């Protein structure tokens, strides 16, 4: 394909990346799309639950976009910026309409309207869904539209290509990337006038999570090392009930408990009897005992913490990190109702949960933090979009449409969309809001990228990429070639898979459900040790073709760097907020910490530098919360119901 | 590497390896400890961390493809003991019990070029989606209201087709689909039907049928019905082929009368 300019590069072909491609190509700017996997196999396929948007039915019952925004802000414990959340909630209904026009088979009512489901205890049905595979259906619709642009030559796909590094000019503006074909191992520099990172979450830092095997966060970690800051990297969402597996943790829906499932462990440590042989009085239904009111339906964060603690104390089933989730006692009709989720359990464990209690444990599920991004708040003075006949919005109600600043990192021309963007979910993500934020980023902010690229191509931001000297690209290409050569030639003693396993175990123990200074300081030592051992790698594959061993070892280095930032920010945030729970600082402290933890990579020390950036509240004032003992449960209950994530 | 504990129960895994499409294939055997609920992916992960064959040779780790590990992305498809399937949803213990053998055999799919070892290149499937214009030709992303209404029954029928994860099992099992012919296979035909059924998608029905009436189209299907038996998403493939066949007949008649 001949180089036409300006061009845009999109890294990642999940919902965020594909939505960006479609929007940017539509704006007339050609796109080069990079993905480690064929885009149709991106992690977004895993989402089952649904996608939130206010619609006419909900509206007539008193729900509104404003309320959707408000819930998202409370869910995020006010760590999210308000104008972008305002815009997302108000744009959401248009996204659903568009997806509908693209042919997504949304479930229907008898009248043929799109059906809605209740999600996470919200009083209003506002979650759209397509069978039990909403994420897959949405991804396919965007994949199809991208293929349409591909057939027209407006999108050029580089699948099985790994992003390695952003190319920046003398002034630090992003002007392209270095990438490698994971099959032939060919490495190349690509020019672009804007680059969008839509590379997803980083569950692999925790070893096993509910995410796909490609979600290692290395792409974002590389941008961080190249000068793009991180925002709130300490904010990680843990889901209480996942099926621990040798290879990954698969989600077990909360409906199992909703329908009467009971959580328990044997009273006796390491009791190796068959669970059904353990008599009732020798079982510890710890949630029911500690929370007689709510029992197994305690709010999600409490359930997560209690399960975690009981296992830390050595009462996990078989001495391991797992507890029983028991539905064996339920009537057949209830079991039938749960069929779809019970089959998942059976397929991947080989055990029939109707006969034997399920073994579950909390698992890392979503990355709220990520690349730090900026935006231009809506300003009626500069609004040229709203027609003269319509009323304008108040200042800060949304973002300035098309402004190149929207969701740009602190590196000019480098954008972050989707789960790799820290912007929308603050300290906890609301269920069914992730798919929304991914598609919103692509469709709404895609125009910002196209505009930036057009301006850059016209020379507004330094020299257009197409005219920059080849030597600039060669310099970064050499940097990456040298890095790869060094890894390939490693003849040390440390197996990368072992380091990765230890990293996962340490991060899971120190920085997930309950964080505490002493334990995290220990983890800091461990990470230093792992970083040290990483310099002495042993590579078992020295081949020059489809070398997954080398790709993995390289990504491991980046995971170690990101883990460091995540841990340091967790140590520095001496309060509890949303998913970030500090047992030594159990309260939310707005005075000190209603701030974004903005983390910059210090190239000299190789370590993170944290600064605290205040968060304005132009639309909704922070709500006070009481922390009286009994109120905690009450308050957390509603909060968590709103924030219930799938 | 850690020597396998003699008291530990183990089983054997034979893997057909190939350094690249142009290179000859060869087999290697590995010994893997038995663990409960261990799928083929965790077996491969174990081998990646302990790449030593049963003859004591340290080898390069086996290469394979995977993503979701939940049987929704299609990446990990391979041939397990002669049957094409997703390896992530294949439990080693169940597989051993099913075959009654002491070993499991893993091979790459045979209808696609091998990238390396168990990793194949299924680009042809994505190209076929382009050929049959597997998309809804929307006017653009601007806010133009909702899409066409449809009944729950129509939705259910379309949903069945929309779950196709481009895994290629149907093509691996199809006697008519070979590495070097042009047959598009059951997957692309079913996707053409999926879009022909959509109110807006229909606009391209004629073009899709033109594509499927030529060489490599529906006429190449020998109706052996292997495809529908192996589809992990239980997509009614033979029904789709029959329906598209009928659409083609109508299309041909229309073309005949509108021809000059
Ligand atoms: C089990 C599960 C269920 C969920 N259910 C829901 C739900 O019901 N509702 C909801 O709203 N959310 C849900 N979520 C969350 C949601 O699925 C994700 O947040 C969302 O899909 C992320 O999309 P994305 O486009 O940002 O990234 P992804 O879909 O993860 O895509 C990332 C892309 O980046 C590419 N990439 C990554 N690194 C590189 C690199 N170095 N070089 C090149 N390419 C790279 C990958 O190849 C991929 O194409 C769920 C998550 C999980 C794990
Ligand atoms: S029915 Fe047709 S497409 Fe299916 S396996 Fe047989 S020949 Fe192939
Ligand atoms: S039709 Fe079935 S077997 Fe064929 S590619 Fe799709 S999901 Fe796989
Ligand atoms: S890894 Fe996705 S289907 Fe097996």
Candidates A12, A24, A48, A101, partner chain B, best to mutate (most B CBs within 10 A): A101
CB atoms closer than 10 angstroms to residue A191: 22
Contact between residue B218 and residue B245 where contact means Cβ atoms under 8 Å apart:
yes
**Which residues have CB under 6 Å of ligand 2?**
B 173-176, 185-186, 221-227, 238, 241
- Of the residues B119, B137, B169, the one at which a domain ends: B119
**Which residues sit opposite B119 in a β-bridge?**
B116
Q: Cβ contacts (< 8 Å) between A103 and chain B: which residues?
A: 135-136, 147, 158, 195, 198, 200-201
Rounded Cα distance between A9 and A405, Å, is: 17
> What is the position in ligand 4's atom list of the atom closest to the CA of B165?
3
Whether cis (ω within 30° of 0) applies to the bond prior to A270 is: no
Could you tell me which of A140, A317, A304, A299 has the C-alpha nearest to residue A238? Answer: A304
Q: Is B258 in a helix, a strand, or coil?
A: helix
For residue B106, tell me if it sits in a domain: yes
Instruction: Give me the residues paired with residue A195 across strands.
Output: A9, A414
Per-residue pLDDT, averaged over A605-628, amounts to 85
How far apart (Å, rounded) are the C-alpha atoms in residues A301 and A579?
8
User: Residue A625 — very low, low, confident or very high, per pLDDT cuts 50/70/90?
Assistant: very low
The reply to whether B145 and B246 lie within a common domain is yes
B89 and B211 share a domain?
A: no
Query: What pLDDT is recorded for position B7?
Result: 58
Q: What is the pLDDT of residues A575-600, one digit of tens each?
A: 999 899 999 999 999 999 999 999 99
Q: Judge contact between A166 and A479, C-beta under 8 A.
A: no
Please tell me if the CB atom of residue B109 comes closer than 6 angstroms to any atom of ligand 3.
no
A539 to chain B: closest CA residue: B60
pLDDT at residue A627 greater than cutoff 60: no
Q: Which residue is it, tokens 């806010």?
A: B143
Domain that holds residue B21: 10-119
Low-confidence ranges of chain B (pLDDT < 50): 1-4, 260
pLDDT at position A632 is 39
- Measured in angstroms, the CA of B222 and the nearest CA of chain A are apart by 29
Residue B5 confidence (pLDDT)? 53
- Cβ of B130 within 8 Å of Cβ of A151? The answer is yes
DSSP state of B121: -
How far apart are alpha carbons A449 and A193 in whole angstroms?
Answer: 9
pLDDT of A638: 45
What's the CA-to-centroid distance between B213 and ligand 2, angstroms? 16
Instruction: Tell me, yes or no, whether B64 and B104 share the same domain.
Output: yes
- CB under 8 A, 24+ apart: contacts of A497-501: A497/A552, A497/B45, A497/B48, A497/B49, A498/B49, A499/A530, A499/A533, A499/A534, A499/A556, A499/A560, A500/A204, A500/A207, A500/A552, A500/A556, A500/A559, A501/A207
pLDDT tops 50 at residue A633: no
Q: Supply the CATH number for residue B228's domain.
A: 1.10.1060.10
With CB atoms and an 8 Å threshold, state whether B143 touches A94.
yes
CB contact under 8 A, B145 and A114: no
Task: Kindly state the average pLDDT of the residues A232-261.
Answer: 89
A26·B140 Cβ contact <8 A: yes
Task: Please report, for residues A239, A255, A283, B116, B146, the alpha-carbon distance to residue A97 in angstroms, rounded to integers and kept in the order given.
Answer: 30, 28, 50, 43, 4
Quick one: B139 and B100 in the same domain? no
Residues of A in contact with B40 (CB under 8 A): none
Asked whether residue A220 carries a pLDDT value surpassing 80, the answer given is: yes
Other C-beta atoms lying within 10 Å of the C-beta of residue A618: 14
pLDDT score of A125: 80
Nearest by CB: A348 against B37, B66, B126: B37
Q: Work out which ligand 4 atom sits closest to the CA atom of B69.
A: 1
For A491-530, the pLDDT digits (tens) are 999 999 999 999 999 999 999 999 999 999 999 999 999 9
Task: Kindly report, residue by residue over A256-280, the tens digit of the pLDDT.
Answer: 887 789 999 999 999 999 999 999 9
Q: How confident is the model at residue A640 (pLDDT cuts 50, 70, 90)?
A: very low
Last residue of a domain, one of B119, B152, B168: B119
Query: Is there a domain that residue B4 lies in?
Result: no
Min Cα–Cα distance to chain A from B260, Å: 30
For residues A332-352, give the mean pLDDT: 86
pLDDT of residue A123: 65
Helices and strands counted in chain A (H then E): 18, 21
Q: Which two tokens stand for residue B21?
A: 């499409």
Total of domains in chain B: 2
Strand-pair category, A116-117 with A127-128: antiparallel
| Element containing residue A527 per DSSP (H, E) | helix A517-534
Using pLDDT thresholds of 50, 70 and 90, give the confidence band for residue A541: confident
Residues B103 and B131 in one domain: no
Tell me the angle at which helices A434-457 and A82-101 cross, rounded to the nearest 10 degrees.
Answer: 100
Paired sense of beta strands A323-326 and A283-284, if any: unpaired
**Phi and psi dihedrals of A357, rounded to 5?**
-55, 140
Q: Whats the size of chain B, residue-wise?
A: 260
Q: Are A44 and A173 in contact (CB under 8 A)?
A: no
**Which ligand minimizes its atom distance to the CA of B185?**
2
Q: What is the mean pLDDT of residues A232-237?
A: 96
Cβ count near A380 (within 10 Å): 12
Percent with pLDDT over 90 in chain A: 77
Quick check: A96 and A51 in contact, CB under 8 A? yes
Q: Using CA atoms, how far apart are residues B95 and B80, in angstroms rounded to an integer? A: 9
- Would you place residue A120 in the very low, low, confident or very high pLDDT band (cuts 50, 70, 90)? low
**pLDDT tens digits, A143-195:** 999 999 999 999 999 999 999 999 999 999 999 999 999 999 999 999 999 99
pLDDT of residue A298: 72
pLDDT tens digits, one per residue of A298-307: 767 678 889 9
Q: What pLDDT, on the 0 to 100 scale, is given for residue B242?
A: 97
Q: Is the CB of B240 under 6 A from ligand 3?
A: no
Q: Do B31 and B135 have their domain in common?
A: no
CATH number where B20 lies: 3.10.20.30
Residue B208 lies in a domain: yes
Helices (H), A351-495: 434-457, 470-488
Of A549, A517, A553, A516, whose CA–CA distance to A535 is shortest?
A: A553
Give the alpha-carbon dihedral of A10, A12, A15, A19, to 10 degrees: 10
Q: Probe ligand 1: pick from A419, A423, A425, A548, max atoms within 8 Å of CB?
A: A419
Has residue B5 been placed in a domain? no
Q: What is the pLDDT of residue A596?
A: 98
pLDDT value at position A385?
87
Chain A residue numbers with beta carbons less than 8 Å from the beta carbon of B133 are: 148, 151
Out of B90, B119, B148, a domain closes at: B119
Interface-testing mutation among B38, B47, B73, with chain A (most A C-beta atoms within 10 A): B73
Predicted pLDDT at A119: 61
Residue closest to A79 by CA, chosen among A428, A602, A516, A439: A428
Tell me, yes or no, if A300 is annotated catalytic: yes
pLDDT score recorded for residue A350: 86
Give the pLDDT mean for A236-263. Answer: 88
R_g of chain B, CA atoms, integer Å? 22
To test the ligand 1 pocket, which listed residue (A217, A249, A552, A646) has its Cβ within 8 A of the most ligand atoms? A646
The string over B97-133, giving b where at least 16 C-beta atoms fall within 10 Å of a residue's C-beta and e elsewhere, is eeeeeeebbbbbbebbebbbbbbbbbebbbebbebbb
Inter-chain contact B39–A347, Cβ cutoff 8 Å? no
Beta strand B10-18 with B103-107: parallel, antiparallel or unpaired? parallel
Same domain, yes or no, for B234 and B154? yes
pLDDT tens for A40-89 read 999 999 998 889 999 888 888 889 999 999 989 988 999 999 999 999 99
* Closest chain A residue to B161, measured at CA: A105
User: Going from the N-terminus, what domains does chain A have, and what CATH number goes with each?
Assistant: 8-235+368-467 (3.50.50.60), 239-360 (3.90.700.10), 471-588 (1.20.58.100)
Please name which of A52, A49, A29, A60 lies closest in space to residue A126, comparing C-alpha atoms: A52
Q: Hey, whose CA ends up nearest to atom 7 of ligand 3?
A: B164
Give strand pairing partners of A283.
A266
Residue in B39, B137, B146, B150 to test binding to A, most A beta-carbons within 10 Å: B146
Q: Give the global pTM.
A: 0.94
The verdict on B112 and B129 lying in the same domain is no
Residues B142 and B252 in one domain: yes
Q: Hunting for tokens 């220990």 — which residue is that?
A: A522
Concatenated DSSP letters of A537-594: BB-S---SSS-HHHHHHHHHHHHHHHHHHHHHHHHH--S-BTTB-BTTB-S--HHHHS
Measure Cα distances from B24 to A7, A547, A636, B29, B53 in Å: 41, 18, 62, 17, 19
Pairing, β A250-251 against β A236-243: antiparallel
Please indicate, yes or no, if residue B114 is contained in any of the structural domains.
Answer: yes
Q: Distance (Å, rounded) from C-alpha B96 to C-alpha B53?
A: 20
Q: Are residues B73 and B180 in the same domain?
A: no
| Contact criterion met (CB below 8 Å) for B133 and B200 | no
Distance from CA of B102 to the nearest CA of A (A): 19
ipTM above 0.90, yes or no: yes
Give the integer Cα–Cα distance in Å for B83 and B71: 16
The answer to whether the beta carbons of residues B179 and A140 sit under 8 Å apart is no
pLDDT at res. B128: 98
Residue count of chain A: 646
Of A173, A262, A283, A300, the active-site residue reads A300
Bridge partners for B114 per DSSP: B120
What residues in A contact B122, CB-CB < 8 Å? 38
pLDDT given for residue A635 in this prediction: 44
DSSP A513: S
Shared domain for B83 and B157, answered yes or no, is: no
Are residues B67 and B21 part of one domain?
A: yes
């Amino acid at each position: 394909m001949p180089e036409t300019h300006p061009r845009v590069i999109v890294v990642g072909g999940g919902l965020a990346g594909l939505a960006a491609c479609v929007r940017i190509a539509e704006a007339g700017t050609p796109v080069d799309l990079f993905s480690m996997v064929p885009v149709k196999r991106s992690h977004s396929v895993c989402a089952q639950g649904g996608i939130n948007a206010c619609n006419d039915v909900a509206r007539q019952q008193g729900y509104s976009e404003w309320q959707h925004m408000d819930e998202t802000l409370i869910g995020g414990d006010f760590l999210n910026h308000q104008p972008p959340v305002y815009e997302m909630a108000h744009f959401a209904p248009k996204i659903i309409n568009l997806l509908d026009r693209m042919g997504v088979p949304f479930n229907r009512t008898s009248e043929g309207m799109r059906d809605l489901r209740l999600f996470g205890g919200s009083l209003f049905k506002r979650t759209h869904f397509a069978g039990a595979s909403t994420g897959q259906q949405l991804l396919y619709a965007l994949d199809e539209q991208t293929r349409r642009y591909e057939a027209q030559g407006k999108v050029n796909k580089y699948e099985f290509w790994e992003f390695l590094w952003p190319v920046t000019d003398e002034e630090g503006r992003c002007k392209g990337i270095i990438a490698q074909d994971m099959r032939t191992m060919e490495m190349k520099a690509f020019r672009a006038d804007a680059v969008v990172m839509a590379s997803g979450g980083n569950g692999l830092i925790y070893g096993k999570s509910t995410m796909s095997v490609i979600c290692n966060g290395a792409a974002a970690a590389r941008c961080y090392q190249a000068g793009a800051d991180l925002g709130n990297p300490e904010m990680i969402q843990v889901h209480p009930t996942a099926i621990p597996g040798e290879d990954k943790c698969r989600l077990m829906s909360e409906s199992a408990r909703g329908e009467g499932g009971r959580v328990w462990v044997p009273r006796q440590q390491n009791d190796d009897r068959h669970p059904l042989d353990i008599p009732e009085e020798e079982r510890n239904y710890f949630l029911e005992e500690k929370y007689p009111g709510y029992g197994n339906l305690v709010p999600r964060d409490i359930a997560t913490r209690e399960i975690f603690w009981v296992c830390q104390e050595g009462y996990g089933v078989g001495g391991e990190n797992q507890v029983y989730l028991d539905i064996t006692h339920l009537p057949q009709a209830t079991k039938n109702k749960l069929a779809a989720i019970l089959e998942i359990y059976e397929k991947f464990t080989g055990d029939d949960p109707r006969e034997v209690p399920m073994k579950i444990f909390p698992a890392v599920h979503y990355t709220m933090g990520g690349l730090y991004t900026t935006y231009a708040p809506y300003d009626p003075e500069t609004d040229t979009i709203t027609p003269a006949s319509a009323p304008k919005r108040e200042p800060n109600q949304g973002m300035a449409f098309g402004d190149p600043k929207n969701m740009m990192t602190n590196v000019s021309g480098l954008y972050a969309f989707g789960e790799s963007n820290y912007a929308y979910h603050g300290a906890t993500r609301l269920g069914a809001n992730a798919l929304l934020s991914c598609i919103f980023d692509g469709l709404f902010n895609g125009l910002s990228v196209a505009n930036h690229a057009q301006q850059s191509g016209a020379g507004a931001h330094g020299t257009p990429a197409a005219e920059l000297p080849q030597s600039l690209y060669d310099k970064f290409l050499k940097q990456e070639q040298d890095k790869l050569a060094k890894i390939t030639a490693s003849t040390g003693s440390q197996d990368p898979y072992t380091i990765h396993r230890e990293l996962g175990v340490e991060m899971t123990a120190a920085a997930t459900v309950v964080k505490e200074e002493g334990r995290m300081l220990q983890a800091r030592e461990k990470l230093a040790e792992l970083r040290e051992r990483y310099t002495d790698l042993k590579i078992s594959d020295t081949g020059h073709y489809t070398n997954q061993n080398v790709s993995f070892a390289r990504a491991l280095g980046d995971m170690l760097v990101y883990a460091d930032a995540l841990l340091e920010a967790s140590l520095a945030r001496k309060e509890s907020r949303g998913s970030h729970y500090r047992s030594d600082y159990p309260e939310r402290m707005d005075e000190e910490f209603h701030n974004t933890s903005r983390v910059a990579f210090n190239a000299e020390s190789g370590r993170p530098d944290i600064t605290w950036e205040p968060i304005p509240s132009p639309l909704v004032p922070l709500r006070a919360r009481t922390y009286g003992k009994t109120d905690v449960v009450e308050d957390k209950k509603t909060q968590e119901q709103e924030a219930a994530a799938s | 590497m850690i020597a396998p504990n003699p008291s530990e129960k183990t089983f054997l895994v034979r893997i057909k390896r190939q350094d690249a499409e142009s290179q000859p294939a060869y087999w290697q055997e590995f010994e893997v400890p038995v663990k409960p609920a261990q799928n083929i992916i965790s077996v491969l992960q174990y081998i990646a961390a302990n790449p030593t064959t049963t003859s004591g040779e340290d080898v390069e780790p086996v290469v394979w493809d995977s993503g979701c590990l939940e049987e929704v992305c299609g990446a990990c498809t391979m041939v397990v003991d002669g049957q094409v399937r997703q390896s992530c949803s294949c439990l080693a213990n169940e597989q051993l019990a099913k075959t009654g053998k002491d070993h499991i055999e893993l091979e790459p799919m045979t209808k696609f070029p091998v990238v390396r070892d168990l990793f194949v290149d299924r680009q042809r499937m994505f190209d076929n989606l382009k050929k049959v214009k597997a998309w809804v030709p929307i006017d653009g992303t601007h806010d133009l209201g909702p899409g066409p209404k449809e009944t729950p029954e129509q939705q259910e029928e379309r949903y069945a087709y929309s779950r196709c994860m481009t895994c290629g099992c149907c093509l691996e099992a199809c006697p008519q689909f070979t590495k070097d012919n042009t047959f598009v296979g059951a997957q692309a035909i079913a996707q053409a039907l999926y879009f022909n059924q959509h109110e807006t998608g229909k606009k391209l029905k004629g073009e899709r049928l033109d594509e499927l009436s030529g060489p490599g189209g529906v006429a190449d299907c020998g109706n052996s019905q292997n495809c529908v038996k192996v589809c992990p998403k239980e997509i009614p493939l033979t029904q789709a082929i029959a329906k598209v066949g009928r659409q083609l007949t109508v299309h041909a008649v229309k073309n005949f009368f509108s021809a000059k």
